[in-house]
Structure formats: structure tokens, C-alpha cells
Amino acid sequence: MPITPFHFGPGLLLHAAAPKRVSFIAFMAANCITDCETVYNILAGHFPYHTFLHTFLGAVVSAALTTAMFLFVRALSRKTPLPNWFAWQQLTIAPVVVGALLGSYSHVVLDGIMHADMRPLAPWSDANPFLRFVSIGNLHWLCVIAAALGGVLWWVSSRRKASRM
């Protein structure tokens, strides 16, 4: 799933379930950072397409890059006015780290289900225990359902907050 919104469905559900603990922005950013590797490999004609960042070890690096990018841009926003869409400037580091880790690790699992060139356990093993755990069609539907549930949960939560004000 290179740079696809399907990855974001589980993130929306996780954020809606724990909005103060999981940054959806960091979840999405970590997924995009992870897939930069795939886009590069495809454009450069390198195979396999899913390499280091698509491993559990690489997921830590992707999450760290996401967190570092957040800290850099937040520091930059103190000196240069930047749009504060979705109140990202008020995020604390903990939900960013959690969102980045969940985004990176879920990316490895979701792509592991779908792509035969994945080696999520590298460098310790070339095995892919997730491959075809569910069909690709069902995987996409599960991501869409997660997005729908997350959207409904987020909407209900925002309505409750609005009614308390």
C-alpha cells in the first residue's frame, strides 16, 4: 500500500479511542515517512521495494524521524508563524511518540499482510508471518471499517464536548 489512505483508518480509530494519548497527525506522518522508502525503491528500480523501514527495527527509526520532525517544526513555529491546523502546536511529546510508534508498527503489519517482498523480522529472520493472514480485499475493508468507526467515534466525542460547553 504505498502512500495510501488505507493505512490511516486504524490510526483514526486509535486516535478517536484515545485522543489525548495518540496523535493522528504523527500516525499519518510516520506512515508517509515509512513509504518514502518504497517510493524511492520503485522509482530507482530497486527490488525488494519494502526494505529497512518496513521492518520492526526500521519502524523505530521511522517513529524517531517522525518525532524529530515534529520537534523541529514545533521549534520553528515559535520563530516563524505556521498554520496551526488541527491544533498540532499544542500537542505534547507523549501522544506524538505513541502515534508515531503505532503508525510505524501498524504499517509494518499491514504491508506484511499484503506484500511478499516484506521481511518484517529482519535482520533476525527473513520470515514474514503476516503474509496473506487475510485477503487483500478483506484487509482493505478492515481499514475502511476502522476509519468509519473512528470517524463515528470522533464525531460522537466532539458532539459530547460541544454539548458540555
pLDDT in tens, 57-89: 999 999 999 999 999 999 999 899 888 887 888
pLDDT tier for residue 96 given thresholds of 50, 70 and 90: very high
Predicted pLDDT of residue 120: 98
Quickly count: other Cβ atoms within 10 Å of residue 70's Cβ. 21
Predicted pLDDT of residue 35: 95
Is the pLDDT score of 10 beyond 60?
Answer: yes
Is the pLDDT score of 2 beyond 70?
Answer: no
Predicted pLDDT of residue 3: 64
Structure-block grid coordinates of residue 139: 484487509
In the block, which residue shows the cell 489525548?
Answer: 20
**Buried b or exposed e, range 97-118, using 16+ CB within 10 angstroms:** bbbbbbbbbbbbbbbbbbbeeb
> What DSSP state is assigned to residue 134?
S
